[in-house]
């Protein structure tokens, strides 16, 4: 039976359809009333077709209920358009209406215009009326792109022999590095489920179960503060794990899958494997971050040794990081002062020192008078300084100096338009520290507590914990972390020792990770995996700067769903059923 609303979609008809009788349905995008004639642009997700009402008087009853964004169905004849529109695919034709029926009225005024780009609309208003915001073609296409990317990932993983398996949403609390979302149990008084921060334990148990390669597009839940590149509360990742696999095996899978999906969904140049592998310490030294943007040509150089025993107070007993920037001789003092203000206000730096290199290689401006000839020669040799360069200096404690120099490097590339255009540059960050010092001065896991330490039990027993590396790795693209993974700790004794160093007793391990701990007693194969972040990948491929633009129903900057009014209060009866009594302080 033919569809009663439409025979074609609004982006389908061409000149080859002229003289056909057709029926279309969609949203009214624009109305142009010329008195005796009326033109309507009818839109669906496939395109726009112009509808002509040549005798308005005969449609008086129907027209009174037609306004922008109402839905209608129109039947009529396809004719050649006299004034063609080459901006739309149906621009050679139009439909002369014979019958019009309003299917869904649009009552009252719209909270904002639907298909106007760059309009100044509050984000919360857009999210409150997200069902309207999603009609905007740009946002609408983002969601369709997301669907295609998910399909491309599934196809790629299927081709590599991975099996898609769903893991539970109601799980146990796990130290993944963020706060859990807790779900109270009605049947088990005083006990709680936790929404999984990742399917970590389940996917490892699948390897113990004999599955060779697992994957899923997994929902993950972390009670973290939102950022432009991080959705609050929930996100999706392509989670995968492999038995009898090493770090190199996992990196090879990423190098096959991720670039192929990128190339299918962008016109940018895409790096192909082998991706550059950068040890964590090298990344922090050269780029000031473990998420380096390789489109940025600037690198950080350590000059601490050169400024040893300096009399310049700002550099005394400090770690000194420097960045060489070419072609800066014509930059005004205003630019350098602005960079200094940025470093102080945005990066909490004590200051940002600088010098210019004249055509004759003499130093000028900034702190030039504090650099003697001997130090100048050493700096020139180490940094390959050229005439007309500028050098920016950061002086602070090691970790602060790295972080500040990293922020300055990014800002300089933005201000000077140095980033390579229309390209996706990938790299792996490897050799992460297994442990770090917490704010309280105790030993804590740096990355993933289920990772295998490099050197195994011997390293755990003989090395300073802060000197132990883990088989952990991140995929980074254009300054964004796109995936994180590790070779898993599959040995029960090594697991106990690794957690003991981080302050967990054997009983803690058994209680918190009982299933995994017990499973490791029954012949566990070595295994490894990773999890590329779907939301962030879609954001990059959609050329968006905010992750909320590629999620159908995102939460706002305060982690609130203003469309569905969540979180919200619940009734006393609901609380009683899950054995909870509130004790809220004003």
Domain residues for the domain of 32 are 15-104
List the beta bridge partners of residue 72: 26, 102
Q: Assign 344 a pLDDT band (cuts: 50, 70, 90).
A: very high
Domain annotation covers residue 242: yes
Average pLDDT, integer, range 23-31:
97
Residues 265 and 341 in one domain: no
User: Distance between CA 271 and CA 422 in Å, rounded?
Assistant: 11
Domain annotation covers residue 112: no
Q: Report the CATH number at residue 469.
A: 3.30.930.10
Q: Number of structural domains, the chain?
A: 3
Mark which of 104, 132, 148 sits at the end of a domain: 104
What integer pLDDT is reported at residue 448 of this predicted model? 83
Structure-token pair, residue 9: 């979609």
What integer pLDDT is reported at residue 83 of this predicted model? 92
Q: Assign 416 a pLDDT band (cuts: 50, 70, 90).
A: very high
User: Distance between CA 520 and CA 286 in Å, rounded?
Assistant: 40
Q: Assign 61 a pLDDT band (cuts: 50, 70, 90).
A: confident
What integer pLDDT is reported at residue 65 of this predicted model? 87
Domain annotation covers residue 156: yes
User: Quick one: which of 385, 384, 397, 316 has its CA closest to 356?
Assistant: 385
User: Distance between CA 515 and CA 523 in Å, rounded?
Assistant: 14
Q: Report the CATH number at residue 80.
A: 2.40.50.140
Residues 396 and 523 in one domain: no
For residue 318, how many other CB atoms are within 10 A of its CB?
A: 21
Tell me: the pLDDT tens digits for 436-445? Answer: 998 888 999 9
Tell me: the pLDDT tens digits for 285-314? Answer: 999 999 999 999 999 999 999 999 898 999
Tell me: the pLDDT tens digits for 456-503? Answer: 999 999 999 999 999 999 999 999 999 999 999 999 999 999 999 999
Measured CA to CA in angstroms, residue 186 lies from 316, 575, 576 at distances of: 62, 9, 9
Residues 374 and 434 in one domain: no
User: Distance between CA 4 and CA 1 in Å, rounded?
Assistant: 9
What's the 3-state SS for 466-506?
HHCEECEEEEEECCEEEEEEEEECCCHHHHHHHHHHCCCCH
Residues 327 and 255 in one domain: no
Domain annotation covers residue 120: no
What integer pLDDT is reported at residue 118 of this predicted model? 62
Residues 443 and 362 in one domain: no
The residue with greater pLDDT, 116 or 295, is: 295
Average pLDDT, integer, range 327-335:
93
Q: Assign 586 a pLDDT band (cuts: 50, 70, 90).
A: low
Residues 438 and 473 in one domain: yes
What integer pLDDT is reported at residue 9 of this predicted model? 97
Angle, CA 198 vertex, CA 448 and CA 518 arms, to 5°: 70
Q: Say if residues 207 and 522 touch (Cβ distance below 8 Å).
A: no
Domain annotation covers residue 336: yes
Domain annotation covers residue 209: yes
Asked if pLDDT for residue 176 goes beyond 60, the answer is no
Asked if pLDDT for residue 86 goes beyond 80, the answer is yes
Residues 348 and 451 in one domain: no
Asked if pLDDT for residue 584 goes beyond 60, the answer is yes
Q: What are the b/e assignments for 200-224, b being 16+ CB within 10 Å?
A: bbbbbbbbbeebbbbbbbbbbbbeb
What integer pLDDT is reported at residue 1 of this predicted model? 67
Residues 368 and 473 in one domain: no
Residues 468 and 519 in one domain: yes
Residue 575 DSSP SS3:
helix
User: Distance between CA 364 and CA 128 in Å, rounded?
Assistant: 55
What integer pLDDT is reported at residue 179 of this predicted model? 87
User: Quick one: which of 433, 431, 541 has its CA closest to 142?
Assistant: 541
What integer pLDDT is reported at residue 120 of this predicted model? 85
- Give the relative orientation of helices 534-541 and 137-159 as an angle to the nearest 10 degrees: 120
User: Distance between CA 388 and CA 363 in Å, rounded?
Assistant: 10
Residue 60 DSSP SS3:
helix
Mark which of 104, 129, 164 sits at the end of a domain: 104
What integer pLDDT is reported at residue 175 of this predicted model? 58
Average pLDDT, integer, range 214-234:
89
What integer pLDDT is reported at residue 177 of this predicted model? 61
Q: Report the CATH number at residue 348.
A: 3.30.1360.30
Asked if pLDDT for residue 119 goes beyond 80, the answer is no
Regarding pTM above 0.75, the answer is yes
Residues 407 and 441 in one domain: no
Rounded to the nearest integer, the mean pLDDT of the chain is 94
Residues 477 and 549 in one domain: yes
Asked if pLDDT for residue 585 goes beyond 90, the answer is no
Q: Say if residues 139 and 549 touch (Cβ distance below 8 Å).
A: yes
């Amino acid at each position: 039976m033919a569809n009663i609303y439409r025979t074609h979609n609004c982006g389908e008809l061409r000149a080859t359809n002229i003289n056909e009788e057709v029926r279309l349905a969609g949203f009214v995008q624009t109305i142009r009333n010329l008195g005796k004639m009326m033109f309507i642009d009818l839109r669906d997700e496939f395109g726009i077709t112009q509808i002509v009402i040549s005798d308005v008087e005969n449609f008086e009853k129907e027209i009174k209920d037609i306004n922008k964004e109402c839905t209608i169905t129109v039947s009529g004849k396809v004719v050649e358009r006299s004034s063609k529109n080459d901006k739309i695919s149906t621009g050679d034709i139009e439909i002369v209406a014979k019958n019009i029926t309003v299917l869904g009225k649009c009552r009252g005024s719209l909270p904002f215009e639907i298909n106007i780009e760059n309009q100044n609309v509050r984000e919360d208003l857009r999210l409150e009326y997200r069902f309207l915001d999603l009609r905007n073609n740009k946002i609408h296409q983002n969601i369709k792109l997301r669907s295609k990317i998910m399909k491309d990932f599934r196809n790629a993983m299927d081709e590599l022999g991975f099996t898609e398996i769903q893991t539970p949403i109601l799980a146990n609390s796990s130290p993944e590095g963020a706060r859990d979302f807790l779900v109270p149990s009605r049947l088990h008084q005083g006990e709680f489920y936790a929404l999984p921060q990742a399917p970590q334990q389940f996917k490892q148990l699948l390897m113990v179960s004999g599955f060779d390669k697992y994957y899923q597009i997994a929902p993950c839940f972390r009670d973290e503060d939102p950022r432009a590149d991080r959705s609050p509360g929930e996100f999706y990742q392509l989670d995968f794990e492999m038995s009898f696999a090493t770090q190199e095996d996992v990196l090879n899978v990423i190098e096959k899958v991720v670039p192929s999906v990128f190339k299918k969904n962008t016109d940018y140049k895409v790096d192909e494997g082998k991706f550059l592998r950068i040890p964590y310490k090298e990344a922090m030294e050269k780029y000031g971050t473990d998420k380096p943007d390789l489109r940025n040509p600037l690198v950080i150089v350590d000059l601490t040794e050169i400024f040893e025993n300096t009399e310049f107070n700002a550099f005394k007993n400090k770690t000194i990081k420097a960045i060489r920037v070419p072609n800066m001789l014509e930059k005004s003092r205003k630019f350098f002062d602005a960079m200094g203000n940025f470093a102080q206000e945005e990066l909490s730096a004590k200051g940002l020192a600088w010098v210019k290199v004249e055509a004759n290689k003499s130093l000028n401006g900034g702190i030039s008078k504090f650099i003697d000839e001997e130090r100048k020669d050493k700096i020139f040799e180490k940094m390959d300084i050229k005439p007309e360069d500028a050098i920016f200096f950061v002086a602070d404690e090691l970790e602060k100096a790295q972080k500040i120099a990293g922020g300055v490097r990014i800002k300089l590339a933005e201000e000077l338009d140095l980033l390579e255009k229309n390209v996706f540059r990938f790299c792996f960050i490897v050799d992460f520290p297994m442990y770090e010092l917490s704010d309280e001065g105790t030993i804590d896991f740096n990355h993933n507590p289920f990772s295998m330490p490099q050197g195994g039990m011997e390293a755990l027993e003989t090395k300073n914990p802060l000197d132990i590396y883990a088989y952990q790795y991140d995929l980074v693209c254009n300054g964004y972390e796109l995936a994180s993974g590790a070779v898993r700790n599959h040995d029960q004794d090594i697991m106990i020792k690794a957690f003991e160093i981080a302050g967990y007793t054997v009983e803690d391990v058994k209680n918190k990770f009982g299933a995994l701990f017990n499973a490791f007693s029954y012949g566990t194969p070595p295994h490894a995996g990773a999890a590329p972040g779907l939301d962030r990948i879609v954001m990059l491929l959609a050329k968006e700067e905010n992750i909320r633009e590629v999620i159908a129903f995102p939460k706002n900057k305060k982690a609130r769903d203003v469309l569905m009014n969540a979180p919200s209060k619940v009734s006393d009866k609901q609380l009683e059923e899950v054995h909870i009594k509130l004790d809220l302080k004003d």
